[in-house]
Structure 1
Amino acid sequence: MPLKAPWRTAFGEETTIDSILVRLRGEGQDGWGETAPYRLPQFSPEWASGAFALLRDVMAPALIGKRIDSAEILQEELAPLKGNHFAKAGLDTAWWDLAAKLAGEPLWKMIGGKGPDAIVGADISVLDDLDELVAAVGKTQEDGFQRTKLKFRRGWGLEMVARVREAFPDAVLHVDCNSAFTLDDIAMFRELDRFGLAMIEQPLAYDDLIDHARLQAELKTPICLDESITSLDRARKAIDIGACGWINIKPGRVGGLTNAIAIHDLCAAHDIPCWIGGMLESAVGQGPALALSTLSNVKYPCDIFPSDRLYQTDLSEPEIVLSGPGRITASDQPGHGFWPNSERLTRVSRAYAAVSNKARRDPSSSRLAL
């Protein structure tokens, strides 16, 4: 799905999104999930075509003929396969959509959301020059977003933050480093302390906890962990060693909505505030993240984007739209509320696979049998 403009981060540049859509069918209903680990293994060790092959050849066939009565059972079935959190998330988020539809409940309500409204922020990638950036930040302020995230990388760092802070002295800002730095850059991070940022997101390696704890001890600005948090156990360890003041939860990165809810609850129990992130994905992928954004320990505007923010045409429907300044309201329909437009999906699909075993289908089995 083409982007309106290049999305530049510390690890690369994207002009389209490459993702996997997963459909689970049962009891006359379809549950839809999406997982989008990027085209190449740059954000994490996973990548889109690899996740598709694993889902097609291993994960989906392993579930055929088994009763999946709960999300925990689904995670137990997938647990013998190490890592591959994005691939697992495609199945897990589709399961939750199907389960909520069969229960006749909006997903946000089914998982215990405090209400349908989610507070969302604005993200700005690396741009061509600082004047363009200041104009873009100004637009986020005019549009009523309560915080703005700035992508941060070598050559687009302290000078960039200084220029934005000078132009917007009272704006809530944070920077996202996407794992681009090391402890050798500690002097630069100390300089960031003077800009009054809400947080510094994932400054160090994507799989690190220990160095983040060392860096956090040197800074006033809270560190937010993103790429480093891939499981409930990783979140527990990060909290135990003081590696962060915030945790960003992305359903795709942690293996699905089941694990995302568990991490949210762990953070709440330890007074660590969290907020919800997303990948470059269609409305189907953002639907579970939108539901997650309604939980009680989500304390910072989330990365849920209106459909027209990044794409000329979202392949899914209905479009995600703002319901007020910096606010998106989750669907009141059963499930997460989004599905692919079949014509658009057919037009942009690169590969398709159907996995089933009708001979093993048991009509007396659980409503959520695959």
Structure 2
Amino acid sequence: MGDACGIGPEIIARWWPDGRQWVVVGCPRVMARAVSWMPPDRRPTVRVLSALRDVQALAESELGVWVPPGLPDDLLDAPVGRVDERAGRAAAACIREAVRLAQVGEVAGMVTAPLHKEALAMAGEPYPGHTELLQAEGSPAGHPPAPVRMMLANDQLKTVLVTIHVSLRQAIEQVTFDSVLETLRITHRSAALWGQARPRIAVAGLNPHAGEGGLFGDEELHIIGPAIEAARREGIEAIGPLAPDTVFMRARHAPPEHPGEFDVVVAMYHDQGLIPVKYLGLDQGVNVTLGLPFVRTSPDHGTAFDLAGTGRADPSSLAAAANMARALVAGRKA
């Protein structure tokens, strides 16, 4: 469901397809409120599920809700369009329950609506976002968290990040031989899910002009380059390090006039990789967590508090995330 005070519940309601293949993990009252903001002739009916198999008995116009443990009793009192600790607590409870359902095989994958990182922190969660929470919850009990990576993708460009939700200073420190090589391994392994058994992976440099032979920084010479060579010895088709100010244009796939040179770009830090994808448009962007034992996608936008409750939120990115989740589930089964 995402953050109850943001646009998550509303874009779910506005997008809702044939409900017999999907279930919302969330609060029925919050979902009913979101439905009430829709035109009367397009409102699905909210139904609480007592067992997941009951979703198969729903009518096409019904929206099935699975209630997770840990929802605040007064969640509906949290003001729409505002950061609220109750919404952060509910969002975390929904994620944990969705992970549990995926781990026991009750669901094939998950699509997460946007949450608010500040609300998550107010709720006492030690994780800065979805990716880190999913990494912690998705690992088997007693085992260290499995390495995961964030990918943002649309029809024209895919980027995978070496570092995620940390300060720029910390991100530079976290660009290590091991982190770059692990990112290349995860990217190569995951690409089979979307039909590319041997993807062409472009690797962006960290510094301007990819360091210009050490003139503008030596991370490319001593960290990124050696990690690429190690990946290539493992059979991974990694190319670089390449100048980050042109690599995304080279990778952009917009046929027939602009076929991409690469299938995916590995970027060193959050904004380096996400700005190019988001610039191409938020309506089709999808966030995918690579490396989890189950499929997880998300829209590439945030909670949009300024739009919450107005009836103007666009569900296009959520629809794209749902379509990609379905495709990745099919790829995992193949």
Question: TM tier, shorter chain?
Answer: under 0.3
Structure 1 or 2: more helix by fraction: 2
Q: Give the structure-2-normalised TM-score.
A: 0.26
